[in-house]
Amino acid sequence: MVLFRSVTALSRLRSRVGQQSNLINSVRWLQMQSSSDLDLHSQLKELIPEQQERLKKVKSELGKAQLGNITVDMVLGGMRGMTGLLWETSLLDPDEGIRFRGLSIPECQKLLPGAKPDGEPLPEGLLWLLLTGKVPNKEQVDGLSKELRDRATVPDYVYKAIDALPVTAHPMTQFASGVMALQVQSEFQKAYEKGIHKSKYWEPTYEDSLNLIARVPLVASYVYRRIYKDGKIIPKDDSLDYGANFSHMLGFHDPKMLELMRLYVTIHSDHEGGNVSAHTGHLVASALSDPYLSFAAALNGLAGPLHGLANQEVLLWIKSVVDECGENITKEQLNDYVWKTLNSGKVVPGFGHGVLRKTDPRYTCQREFALKHLPDDPLFQLVSKLYEVVPPILTQLGKVKNPWPNVDAHSGVLLNHFGLTEARYFTVLFGVSRSLGICSQLIWDRALGLPLERPKSVTLDWIEKTCKKTA
């Protein structure tokens, strides 16, 4: 989190969002200063030296401080719970949920500019927040939106690379292949080959990252239209913002769907650094792989059933409930179906989380969207019943640390309502949104000179011998 010293800046912010007076005395309030500088790159050039000095001070003064104890359970359990990554853009609290640069999702919805008054936040605004730690004004967001549109050009060879795959290939396979093809234009790779000084690594990384963020909606929408709409491509509309343009290129123009896409991209953008896709992007980038290579690797992690593919599994499971029991299923019938799923050795998709110990705030804001825009949708009503039925059952099992719904429990139902019914494609939407968080952190990885990631591994024999010695 970046702290700003100017009292004048605080006064400007207080006048701009005075209704949030309860935040005035908080640390987060100080970070929300406005800036007259409309250019994102210029702001980063100002912020990065401050953060580089901050990192040096932390390493010097706190480098030997203990952050916790490593247990055998952590080593054998996928490093779960280990504190081992620096991830500036967001922080996930087990009881509170995700905060983007210190701001909760409800705070982001209130403070970040929308396309219309009281509308959902624009993803461009969240990108600005992730990169700078500041809440942007509407002019800054509009300027960034235009810059992303100007960068949104995809060479024909990218589409040809996708076309070389069978149309039956999974959408994530086609999407990741398109991102890999984009890598040919990497500015970081060109600069590195010319011998750029490491203190400047962040600048070509910034160019690659904004180019990638701008272009992935075109690649993702091409994949969708190729698979499901007979290859009839819809060009981008330079009058639309990032989320709305993505929806437009997919072929969905309902104003409510545009708002949903803005919300979707915003809340799925980042979830601290320990999840598979974020960690993979960070790990690969630590080898100085460029943003395209790093993000493509992250997408391959996101495609796994235990990560991003879960949003596909949720809608398919919900539809299986409807197919067997009908749309007007009672809570008693639903209770029986949940037990049937569990007794067959399967899980109820969309419930539980590796870190959270409460209902996912991303689920909550999607529920609020549904209550506002589609309260009578049968599948939404079924999701609401699941919220009442599933947690008590999972609690009764006694093995589940978090019986509450996560983000995947709701997103598919909203997309399905507006006509995006192809569940196999949902993870691609997740991937587009995750580009904002992964690329924002990657720019800061380069700016702070974070090193090659290389944790120590051990064998079972080593664990047994070491524990005997310390017993």
For the stretch 431-461, pLDDT in tens is 999 999 999 999 999 999 999 999 999 999 9
Inform me whether the pLDDT recorded for 4 exceeds 60: no
Q: What percentage of the chain carries pLDDT values higher than 70? A: 92
If you search the block for the tokens 């969207």, which residue do you land on? Answer: 369
Give tens-digit pLDDT for 40-96: 999 999 999 999 999 999 999 999 998 888 889 988 888 888 888 999 999 988 888
The pLDDT of 291-299, averaged and rounded, is 98
- Alpha-carbon distance of 134 to 127, in angstroms, equals 10
Q: What angle do CA 130, 133, 136 make, to 5 degrees?
A: 85
Q: With beta carbons less than 8 A apart as the criterion, state whether 2 and 47 touch.
A: yes
Distances (CA, A) of 207 to 156, 214, 281: 20, 11, 17
Pairing of strands 97-100, 103-104: antiparallel
Longest dimension (CA), the chain: 68
Closest CA to 293 of 210, 188, 217: 188
Which of 42-46, 162-166, 202-206 is predicted with the least confidence, judged by mean pLDDT? Answer: 42-46
Inform me whether the pLDDT recorded for 325 exceeds 70: yes
Counting Cα atoms < 13 Å in the Cβ hemisphere of 44 gives 23
pLDDT at 177: 98
Closest CA to 49 of 187, 206, 197, 199: 199
pLDDT at 11: 42
Give tens-digit pLDDT for 336-390: 988 998 888 888 888 877 776 788 899 999 999 999 999 999 999 999 998 899 8
Q: What angle do CA 422, 225, 418 make, to 5 degrees?
A: 45
Inform me whether the pLDDT recorded for 21 exceeds 50: no
Task: Report the chain's C-alpha Rg in angstroms.
Answer: 23
Residue 196 burial class via C-beta count within 10 angstroms: exposed 0-12, middle 13-18, buried 19 and up:
middle
**Phi then psi dihedrals of residue 294, to 5 deg:** -65, -45
pLDDT at 36: 53
The pLDDT of 297-301, averaged and rounded, is 97
pLDDT at 309: 75
Give tens-digit pLDDT for 328-348: 888 898 899 889 988 888 888
Structure tokens at 105: 């999702």
Structure tokens at 352: 């539980």
The pLDDT of 140-158, averaged and rounded, is 97
Inform me whether the pLDDT recorded for 10 exceeds 60: no
Eight-class DSSP state of 122: P
pTM of the model: 0.88
Inform me whether the pLDDT recorded for 23 exceeds 50: no
Which of 12-26, 125-139, 217-231 is predicted with the least confidence, judged by mean pLDDT? Answer: 12-26
Closest CA to 383 of 425, 331, 421, 309: 331
Q: How confident is the model at residue 402 (pLDDT cuts 50, 70, 90)?
A: confident
pLDDT at 247: 98
Inform me whether the pLDDT recorded for 7 exceeds 60: no
Eight-class DSSP state of 104: E
Which are the catalytic amino acids?
307, 353, 408
The pLDDT of 268-297, averaged and rounded, is 96
Which of 30-34, 87-91, 158-162, 247-251 is predicted with the least confidence, judged by mean pLDDT? Answer: 30-34
SS3 (DSSP) at 306: coil
Inform me whether the pLDDT recorded for 14 exceeds 60: no
Structure tokens at 75: 């080593």
- Alpha-carbon distance of 194 to 283, in angstroms, equals 24
